[in-house]
Amino acid sequence: MQTYTLSNGVKIPAIGMGTWPLKGNLLKETMKHAIKIGYRMFDTADNYDNESDIGEIIASKIVPREELFITTKISDEKNNNCPWSSTGKYFYKSSPYMKEHSVREVVEMLVNKSLRSLKTDYIDCLIIHWPYPDYLLEIWDSMCILYKAGKFRSIGVSNCRERHLEKIINNSSIAPMVNQVSISPLDTRETLLKYNKEHNIQTMCYAPLMQRNNNTLRQADIIKQIMDKYNITIEQLLLVWNVNQGIIPIPKSTSEQRLKSNFNIFNIRFTKQEIINISKLNQDLQYLPESKYCPGL
């Protein structure tokens, strides 16, 4: 398994498996297949409602706990009518709940709940799911305290733009070690990617295959040429485009064959010019919703 080294020296696998919206036996069987293939990083969140299923796999000790890299996120309470929206119970100053509880109490409560569900005494990487504007620094400070106490091996953020990262970096002694965002040839996020590299923040790409059926992508001559040259699928092309740039993709599939195909990409190296040519397809096409507080939405 190829790995990268985070800013604090922790090794992180160069590819992971996403788990949303998988649950129950389907998720557990998929994880078993993935582990057999070689996957060691699994990405979840407290509002995916599947941490307990992942916890059963961890507790089963198919592989030793220390071989796994578990990433989870702390989030506001989920609105069941919309998987990426929330109720506003946590991390909003307008919430009655937050008038009675400190940010640190809420963060500790959410973390302890995740640890119980995951059946583990530590998390490999804890991430803020959204850059909650009312309490971003308070959430980060609370995470730093728990990180120093050994609850996590690393900490990071998700859906954060440069201005969010700048705010944290300028007001904390610990910078984010990971920034999990959506990146694709149709939305290359080059400025953000450059910022992450300059500040030693590992970029992680969620839903890296989401745009594989986009006609603009599929019909592009450069895509067809590279697929033919390397005899690869469009899914593999997208993943190689990520890893060749030092980005960690976290694709999801329930197919054992697709899991293998997604995993077996590390012997493929595009030329620098091929990566540039693929990136020229950029349209700043934001395919997935991010925080409504992010600019440009």
- Cα distances (angstroms) measured from residue 196 to each of 166, 186, 246: 11, 19, 11
**Which of 39, 48, 90, 132 is the catalytic position?**
48
Which of 256, 207, 216 has its CA nearest to residue 235? 207
Burial of 5 (0-12, 13-18, 19+ CB in 10 A): exposed
Say whether 230 is catalytic.
no
CB 6 within 8 A of CB 204: no
Q: What is d(CA 108, CA 49) in angstroms, rounded to the nearest whole number? A: 18
- Cα distances (angstroms) measured from residue 83 to each of 77, 78, 209: 10, 7, 19
Which of 6, 41, 3 has its CA nearest to residue 178? 6
Which of 283, 102, 52, 56 has its CA nearest to residue 184? 283
Which of 31, 3, 43 has its CA nearest to residue 251? 43
In 67-163, at which residue ranges do the beta strands (DSSP E only) sit?
Answer: 69-74, 78-79, 82-86, 125-128, 155-158
Question: What does the DSSP 8-state code read for residue 123?
Answer: B
Burial of 295 (0-12, 13-18, 19+ CB in 10 A): exposed
Q: What is d(CA 11, CA 67) in angstroms, rounded to the nearest whole number? A: 11
Which residue is listed with tokens 């909650």? 132
> Hey, which residues are catalytic here?
48
